[in-house]
Chains A and B, each alone.
Chain A
Amino acid sequence: ELKVEQNPLFLSMQEGKNYTIYCNYSTTSDRLYWYRQDPGKSLESLFVLLSNGAVKQEGRLMASLDTKARLSTLHITAAVHDLSATYFCAVVDTDKLIFGTGTRLQVFP
């Protein structure tokens, strides 16, 4: 059974700082997604990573995938308050998404 772990579970960071969220998964997969969820809202797709070494960037967020290590990272550069949300990674297992525990990010001035 595929298991997905994220760390940290909670991240409080100051505006302007950099940080990385880690996503580890237990068995081979060819696709990994990152989602953002605001309180009381649904899931917003941020990135899909399809191959080993894939790197995608959008604004202050950059995601990467190492399929050999079964590890994905979501790097935040110069955080701003608008990035405060919960971030989930999700790994595809026979066409279904298996989600991590989530990282609740809080950015303060």
Chain B
Amino acid sequence: DVKVTQSSRYLVKRTGEKVFLECVQDMDHENMFWYRQDPGLGLRLIYFSYDVKMKEKGDIPEGYSVSREKKERFSLILESASTNQTSMYLCASSTGGTGSDTQYFGPGTRLTVL
């Protein structure tokens, strides 16, 4: 079974802190994604990566950056956390390449910024 893990289920940070959210997949997937999930807004794509060291902006990249140094690991970075970044963050991965591939999701990290 595909397994996507995220470093924390719950995280509480203070405004202005630098925050790292880690995601690891064990299926040698090419593509990895970071989404933000908010009630009434569904899932919105922040960034995605289709190869090591490659990244592309999604729909809401402002205030975020990403890093993919190894194929299995994709990190989301909040350079200076703000209260409006309080949300559920979901990581996903897929084999990639055709748009038809199933995305496999991690359990999510619920981030609260005080």
Q: Do A and B bind each other?
A: no
